[in-house]
């Protein structure tokens, strides 16, 4: 018998499966980065959110992270990617995320103006922080510290793909992004833990986890921001964007920015202009998300309440899903008489 033919996809050289513009190493790094980012949500955020809230809301919080991941994947593949990086339909058309992704990354006016957003500090974190805070204002409604740490650890390691995959190649940009990601997370975690000891005389695990994400203090306690999206995303994203306008290194700017000779304020020249661009870009994103999220919440409110009745809020997961996170002995039982019970040790 002769040697069977080799399929085109496995042949060396250029083919339909391996076009001449495709670098195998860069493509492999992109697939690894995408997988790491996926692990941030499933199981990272599922564990983190399900463990950082009260036990009676563990199933609901974990499930929201799970089905949100599935819904976003379908929306992104079917139409949101095209909105961000394809042909325009109408100016400012669409959901807040894709519209801002197009403006800052897909050739929109903020992109051509030179506003810097390397890895989503504005598009993702400032947007989600303002959107979540606005939704909490419109009345949307820690149980396991060890699992909170596990979720935070997955989130931290996944961020290597989140930031390292942004250059779309395995190059000096991606290497520096991974290094800076770990340095920033470690510094913030240690700083927040130190502040907990200074002000509260005890190191807080939850504080360390939130410090790992941002290193910033919590603000505006009157809004029920249970998961801390405002200070861990909005404040950190805005501050990071403004500080980028101050400290952006000229040579690194030229590697990925459409506007040449961009630089941070500390490097002189036109650096002061860059600070102004970052502030204007941040204010635009804040305003956009405030308006769009408010409209979405008010429309939803016409169909279903934004807040559950108080009697169901007291019950939690069992009222929403008919399930509980932990089947603990006697948990959820009312008026139980344990006087005749036998405990086996």
Q: Is residue 114 a contact partner of residue 277, using CB atoms and an 8 Å limit?
A: yes
Tens-place pLDDT, residues 104-121? 776 777 888 888 887 777
H runs (alpha helix) in the chain: 24-39, 46-52, 58-75, 81-85, 96-104, 109-113, 127-137, 145-164, 172-200, 205-213, 229, 236-247, 250-256, 271-303, 310-315, 317-321
Q: What is the pLDDT of residue 102?
A: 66
Phi, psi of 118 (to 5 degrees): -65, -45
**Rounded Cα gap, residues 318 and 57, in angstroms:** 9
Question: Which one, of 273, 36, 48, 271, lies nearest residue 177 by Cα?
Answer: 36
Positive or negative CA dihedral for 47, 48, 52, 54?
Answer: negative
The architecture of the domain spanning 23-308 is Orthogonal Bundle (1.10)
pLDDT per position as a tens digit, 206-257:
777 777 665 333 334 455 666 667 777 788 888 888 988 888 888 888 777 7
Cβ atoms within 10 A of the Cβ of 11, count?
12
* Spatial contact of 225 and 132, defined as CB atoms under 8 Å apart: yes
Cα 295 from Cα 236, distance rounded (Å): 25
Every domain of the chain and the residues it spans:
23-308
Average pLDDT, the chain: 74
Report the alpha-carbon distance of residue 247 to residue 227 in Å, rounded: 30
What pTM was estimated for this model as a whole?
0.67
| Tens digits of residue pLDDT in 157-199 | 787 777 787 777 788 878 888 888 888 888 888 888 888 888 8
Q: Is the pLDDT of residue 303 over 70?
A: yes
């Amino acid at each position: 018998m002769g040697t069977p033919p080799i399929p085109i996809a496995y042949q060396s050289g250029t083919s339909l499966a391996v076009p001449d513009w495709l670098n195998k190493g860069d493509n492999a790094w992109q697939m690894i980065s995408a997988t790491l980012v996926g692990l941030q949500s499933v199981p990272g955020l599922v564990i983190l959110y399900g463990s950082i809230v009260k036990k009676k809301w563990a199933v609901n919080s974990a499930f929201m992270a799970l089905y949100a991941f599935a819904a976003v994947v379908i929306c992104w593949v079917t139409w949101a990617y095209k909105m961000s990086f394809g042909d325009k339909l109408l100016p400012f058309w669409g959901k807040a995320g894709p519209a801002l992704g197009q403006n800052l990354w897909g050739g929109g006016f903020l992109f051509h103006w030179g506003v810097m957003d390397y890895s989503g500090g504005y598009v993702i974190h400032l947007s989600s922080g303002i959107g979540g805070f606005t939704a909490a204002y419109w009345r949307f409604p820690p149980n396991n510290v060890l699992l909170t740490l596990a979720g935070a650890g997955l989130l931290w390691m996944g961020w290597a793909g989140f930031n390292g995959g942004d250059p779309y190649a395995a190059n000096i940009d991606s290497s520096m992004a991974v290094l800076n990601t770990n340095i920033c997370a470690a510094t913030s975690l240690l700083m927040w833990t130190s502040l907990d000891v200074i002000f509260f005389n005890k190191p807080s695990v939850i504080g360390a986890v939130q410090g790992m994400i941002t290193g910033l203090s919590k603000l505006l306690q009157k809004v029920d921001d249970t998961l801390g999206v405002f200070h861990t995303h909005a404040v950190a994203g805005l501050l990071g964007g403004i500080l980028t306008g101050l400290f952006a290194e000229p040579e690194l700017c030229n590697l990925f920015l459409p506007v040449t000779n961009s630089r941070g304020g500390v490097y002189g020249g036109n650096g002061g202009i860059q600070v102004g661009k970052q502030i204007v870009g941040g204010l635009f994103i804040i305003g956009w998300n405030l308006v769009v999220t408010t409209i979405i919440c008010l429309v939803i409110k016409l169909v279903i309440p934004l807040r559950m009745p108080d009697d169901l809020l007291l019950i939690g997961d069992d009222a929403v899903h008919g399930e509980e996170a932990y089947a603990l002995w006697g948990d959820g039982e009312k008026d139980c008489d344990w006087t005749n019970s036998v405990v086996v040790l």
